[in-house]
Chains A and B, each alone.
Chain A
Amino acid sequence: MSAEPAVAERADAAAMAVEGPGAGRRRARRDLVGLAVLIAAVVVFPLVAEGQVVFVGVFAGMFALAALGLSLLMGLAGQISLGQAGFLAIGAYTSAVLTTRYEVNSLLAAVVAVAVAVAAAFAVGIPILRLRGHYLALATLGFGIIVAVVANQWEFLGGQSGIFGIGDVAFNGRTYDEPGEQFYLLWATVIVALVLARNLARGRVGRALGAVHDSEVAAETLGIDTFRLRLQVFVLSAALAGIAGTGYAHVVGVVNAQSASFQLSVELLLMAVVGGLGSVWGAILGAVFVEGLGEALTTFIPRVIPGASGEYQLIGFGLLLTLSVIFLPGGFVQAGRRLSGLGGRRSAGATVPGPGPASSGGAVAVREQGAAVEPLLPREGRPPPGTVVLRVTGLERHFGGVRAVDGVDLEVRTGEIVALIGPNGAGKTTLFNVVSGVLPPTAGTVEVGGRPVSSAARPPRPHTVAAAGAARTFQNLQIFTSMTVAGNVAVGRHLRSRGGIVAGALAFPARREERAIDAEARRLAGLLGLDDVVDTRAADLPFGRQRLVEVARALAAEPDRLLLDEPMAGLAAAERADLAHLLRRRRAGGMAILRGEHDMEAGMARADRGGVLDDGHRIALGPPSAIADDPAVIAAYLGTDDDTALPPPRTASGTTADGTTAGGATAAGATAAGPAPGGAPAGGTTAGGATAAGEADRRGDGGGRA
């Protein structure tokens, strides 16, 4: 059992995440060279190829556009669509109707066609993008079939035989009717789309999408509106299919329901998969390869099997799809990278020993320890010290009959560190999840900066909580596994930057901002002693340092409130001291910090105030000294009372929503998360069970939805 395909599938998106400036420049240079070669090939091809083959190239270009959209959608956003041909058909029909019925100029018709495809994508995407995984796949499949049925039934669209007699593309008084001309037109479009998509994928939007793919919950808590982002990419993907559809209408000259067929959707999917999901180059390669393969098979198979007839090229497609998913999950692009030695980096990365927890990080700590606690990251406009910036009132969260959080009141002020202490299973993580908007409360309210952000009546979205100025870390790490350390931290800058889809695609307006983000990410990583690994894949770091990456990522959002769930777990002593010092500096910078700790002593040592949680209740609140002597606290911790058993019944509730234990159904899971450093289940970064409620693609029940 290995998660290899799942991980590898994203390896490419990973490489697209922002890396060091050197890597970025190398990458840009490679892309330029690749582009030059592609342009040269496109220019030369129709000159040397005979008509029939140019025609194949025309189709490859057309489908490359649609596959490019699919590749972005699947590779970056992790959404599968089996209905891409539906959007292609919408674009094709729109072009066909406008040019044949209303004699609209073919360029204008193309623009309208894309607009209609975009509008359809919004209309379809808003309801169905709430679905995940295979549910989304099947909903998109249903969409494609509905488009086909409507096209078949609507007499206006020509019924089953469709619309024919669509002329060739004509503008500026010229008709482009030779395959060579069509080839140039289409491939020029492909190249423009490729460049725009590449810029987009490498910028803020691409990074955010990668983050959503790796850990939706973490992306949300960093302020990324994941639904909106997915919708945007879905629409973008549909727009590309719409352009392809326009090309289809003009090149084929006939549009009917076949253009929305499932078969075509599968072919487009195959192109995206074979080329390499999430890679703009992959989509182009895949389209060329699949079209070429189809052509080769239609000439080859009848020779081997006389009398074969029909769409037998499908056998090649089917085998190719199956085999590439199993053996080449990253597609050609990954294979190319592996061949050129870049692939080695991933495995090598895993063995690069993060400098031991105590080495460089510790050195930094020692150096700074002596100095006075200088304020870190102060920010204009922060509320004055002592202002209540986070207020939790009467908060309850139930899972079935279990009250994980049961009537908790809490206030956190600027410039203080509040430790939230409690044994495992006391409800700390649930409280964090509710406060950060990951889970809706059953009752009670959460106010951030005086504004209610979450209540039972008004279920939260984590990104709105983040936008209100709260960032968090996770006990069960939610590292963006496909990204470098700098990439992870850069995602934290999401709310502090604004490059959208258009700016990102055009690259120029976004470039300066990208540089600033990268610099800031590196600076923050440095503050946490991660300078030496800043360009290493975060997932390859030792557990403790991953935790520091999460802290850096949260700090990057410049929140006024920082919620740290067990930040010290898994850290070596020196790292702990280092982090504690850093937190004090941030406090001095005017930040409010809420920290969850299961270890009483460690938690209290560095806090201004402490609250103790037991069995969902807050049983004490006050300065550390008072807490330590509180009889209720002593009872809870030392078990002099009746409840000696550590895991209260809630851990057996079988829900993963609490986020405390993977698979959470067994007592074994609960005890494994014991107090020892690193006690959280190993591999917590990728752990399935670690996902918060709603994020998991659970089967059977409603878990497939947000």
Chain B
Amino acid sequence: MTTLLRRPLVVLLLALALVAAGCAEAEDGGDAAAGGGGGETASDAASAPAGDTVSEAPATEEGPIRIGAVLDITGPGANLGGPERDTLELLVEQLNAEGGIDGREVELDIRDNQSREDEAATQLTSLLQEDVDIILGASRTGPSLAMRPIAEQAEIPMISLSANLSIIEGSEWVFKTAQNDSVVVQRLLEWMEAQGHETLGLARDASAFGEGVADIFREVSGNPDIVLVEERFATDATDFTAQMINLRDAGADVNVIWGIPPAAATATQAYRQLGIETPLLHSHGIGNPAFLEVAGDAAEGIVFPIGRLLVADELDPADPQTEVIQEFVTAYEERYGARPSTFAGHAWDGFTLAVQAIDEVGTDPAAIRDYLETAELVGMSGVFRMTPEDHSGLGPDALVFATVRDGQFALADEQPGS
């Protein structure tokens, strides 16, 4: 870690400032002049080792490979970023135990963006000062969108772990591993069609994750009137009475809550408490045990499209993903004593894509980018087939329908469209 190198510089910074203060406030001019002299000396002394650290720039094709990650480890996105961090740490450990990439050790620098867009940008800018070879993150759409222009300007490949299509749309340098929300919407519409539902009420996350979802429903369904009501809730909201009442009053055939836990879970509770009988659909944002913990009984019977990782135990052995998924689930459970969430899966996909690319083409950013644009991977979130036009690489087949049964995620009985 470079923190060891950083320490003396922080100290230098403080020392200089304090010397400046001492001078400014010393008793008289004579003392101040002496203090000033001292200040110069101090800076000279401290700058010598500091100078050494600067010259120590890593050469391109030797030394450790550096992967930077900016994740939503705390704040409203903590349920996503936490498992993602755990996954990355697990994977890098495994990788280095096996000798790294071409014998080069892989260093992982994980930063917490505190679920904040500005912090994500700050952390990314700061990471770029550390000569990382590729960027992973962020966990959610908003912070990912904040990072996108910075990665593009720095011309460094970035693999986001979040969902919204706008993160990769038209981007040369940004890829992502979570299923596109348009694909999720498409699957939800397939479900509605199979059940004979025509209208929906939408309560969505007010953050970038939920932004534009209503439009996607209208576009994909070709029905501009399909969304009867659109309610918003803050990512950290705690009371959903108002939104759920408005859903109830709209009287749509189904209702969709589009968010991430804990808000999506609390909203589900409020939905049940108001005694709304209409079927409840969710997005792929809830594939996390944290959702079950908070929502409790209220979650029973909901339906949502999700990657196969969440229902690993019920997979068809013939499914191409089954083997890698079960291998990962075993390793993760062994290490952390819990099942990996779908977000852990997104991190697995991102990390594996990055490692695969560097393994093939080295650390030249443009080469990595070019490789990723044609990469294929049997991953956690689906079977990726990237193209220069599609930096997501996942189709509707990446998603199955899941439900909650007896307090556990389970494969839904009906799987329309597949």
Q: Contacts A33-B35, A160-B208, A295-B10 given; indicate if A309 touches B112 (C-beta within 8 A).
A: yes
Knowing A48-B50, A56-B13, A309-B74 are in contact, say whether A254-B146 is a contact too (CB < 8 A).
Answer: yes
- Collect the chain B residues with CB atoms within 8 Å of residue A50's CB: 2, 5-6, 9, 50, 53-54, 129
One of B21-29, B241-249, B261-269, B318-326 at the interface: B21-29
In the complex, whether A543 has a CB less than 8 A from a CB of chain B is no
Q: Which residues of A contact B24 (CB under 8 A)?
A: 30-31, 33-35, 281, 333, 336
Contact: B31 with A340, CB < 8 Å? yes
A24 at the B interface (CB under 8 A):
no
In B101-147, the 8 Å CB interface with A consists of 112, 114, 116-122, 125-126, 129-130, 141-142, 145-146
- Taking CB atoms and an 8 Å cut-off, the chain B residues in 203-238 that contact chain A are 206-208, 211, 234-235
Query: Do A285 and B73 have beta carbons less than 8 Å apart?
Result: no
- Asked if A45 meets B13 with Cβ closer than 8 Å, knowing A38-B20, A160-B142, the reply is yes
Contacts A51-B129, A310-B112; A161 near B208 (Cβ below 8 A): yes
User: C-beta contact mask, A437-474 vs B, less than 8 Å → 1, else 0?
Assistant: 00000000000000000000000000000000000000
Listed residue (B23, B119, B120) with the most chain A CB atoms within 10 angstroms of its CB: B23
A interface secondary structure, majority: helix
Query: What residues of chain B lie closer than 8 Å to A288, measured between beta carbons?
Result: 13-14, 17
With both beta carbons as reference points, the residue of chain A lying nearest to B150 in the complex is identified as A253
A57 to B13, CA, bound (A): 8
0/1 interface trace, chain A 45-57, chain B, CB 8 Å (1 if under)? 1001111111111
Residues of B within 8 A of A161 (CB): 117, 141-142, 145-146, 207-208, 211
Interface centre among B9, B36, B82, B114 (most CB of A within 10 A): B9
Task: Enumerate chain B residues within 8 angstroms of A336, measured Cβ to Cβ.
Answer: 18, 21-22, 24-26
Q: Among the interface residues B26, B33, B119, which one has the most CB atoms of the partner chain A within 10 A?
A: B26
**Interface check B418, CB cutoff 8 A:** no
Rounded to whole angstroms, the CA-CA distance of A299 and B207 in the bound complex is: 30
Interface check A637, CB cutoff 8 A: no
Binds B, one of A132-140, A255-263, A358-366, A401-409: A255-263
**Shortest Cβ distance from residue A103 to the other chain B in the assembled complex, whole angstroms:** 15
Chain A residues touching B, range: 35 or more
Stretch from B39-47, B307-315, B375-383, B394-402 at the A interface: B39-47
Asked whether B32 lies within 8 Å of A309 as measured between CB atoms, the reply is no
Chain B CB within 10 A, most for which of A35, A59, A282, A295: A295
A34–B23 touching, CB < 8 Å: yes
Q: Which of A320-337 contact B (CB under 8 A)?
A: 332-333, 336-337
**Interface contact A33-B206, CB-CB below 8 Å:** no
Q: Say yes or no: B9 contacts A49, CB within 8 Å.
A: yes
| Complexed CA–CA distance, A38 and B18 (Å) | 10
Contact partner of A30 among B7, B23, B121, B153, CB < 8 A?
B23
B51 interface contact, C-beta 8 A = yes
B19 at the interface (CB under 8 A from A): yes
A179 at the B interface (CB under 8 A): yes
A53-B20 contact, Cβ under 8 Å, with A29-B29, A254-B121, A292-B13: no
- CB distance B206 to A30 under 8 Å? no
Complex Cα distance, B390 from A381, in Å, reads 86
CA distance A137 to B114 in the complex (A): 27
In B145-180, which residues have CB < 8 Å from any A CB? 145-146, 148-150, 153
B63-93 contacts to A (CB < 8 Å): 73-75, 78, 82, 85
Would you call A40 an interface residue if the criterion is a C-beta within 8 Å of the partner chain's C-beta atoms?
Answer: yes
Which residue of B has the minimal Cβ distance to A64? Answer: B17
Q: A162 CA to B146 CA in the complex, in Å?
A: 9
A502 at the interface (CB under 8 A from B): no
Interface magnitude class on chain B: 35 or more
Residues in B with CB closer than 8 Å to A51 are 129-130
B12 at the interface (CB under 8 A from A): yes
Across the interface, B17 reaches (CB within 8 A) one of A258, A289, A296, namely A289
A33/B32 in contact, CB under 8 A: yes
A497 at the interface (CB under 8 A from B): no
A37 touches B36 (CB 8 A): yes
A34 to B50, alpha carbons, bound, how many Å? 24
The answer to whether B142 touches A299, judged by C-beta atoms less than 8 angstroms apart, is no
List B contacts of A179 (CB < 8 A). 125, 129
**What residues of A have a CB within 8 angstroms of the CB of B235 in the complex?**
160
Contact A311 B208 (CB under 8 A): no
Least Cβ–Cβ distance between A665 and chain B, in angstroms = 44
Chain A, residue nearest B19 (CB)? A37
Contact residues in B for A45 (Cβ distance below 8 Å)? 13, 16
Which residues of the partner chain B approach A255 to less than 8 Å between Cβ atoms?
118
Residue of B nearest to A22 (CB): B28
Q: Are A49 and B50 in contact (CB under 8 A)?
A: yes
A384 contacts chain B at the CB level, 8 A cutoff: no
Residue A152 is within 8 A (CB to CB) of chain B in the complex: yes
Is A700 interfacial (CB 8 A cutoff)?
no
Of all A-B residue pairs in the complex, the 6 with the closest CB atoms, nearest first, are A34-B24, A51-B129, A310-B74, A161-B208, A161-B142, A165-B149
Pick 23 A–B contacts, CB within 8 A, sort by A: A31-B24, A33-B24, A35-B24, A37-B16, A37-B20, A37-B23, A37-B40, A38-B20, A41-B20, A49-B12, A53-B9, A55-B129, A160-B208, A251-B122, A255-B118, A258-B117, A296-B10, A311-B74, A336-B25, A341-B27, A342-B25, A342-B26, A342-B27
Residues of A within 8 A of B (CB): 26, 29-31, 33-38, 40-41, 44-45, 48-57, 59-60, 152, 159-162, 164-165, 177, 179, 248, 251-256, 258-259, 281-282, 284-285, 288-289, 292, 295-296, 299, 309-311, 332-333, 336-337, 339-342
Other than A31-B24, A285-B17, give 7 A-B pairs with Cβ distance below 8 A: A26-B28, A30-B24, A40-B39, A41-B43, A254-B120, A292-B13, A295-B6
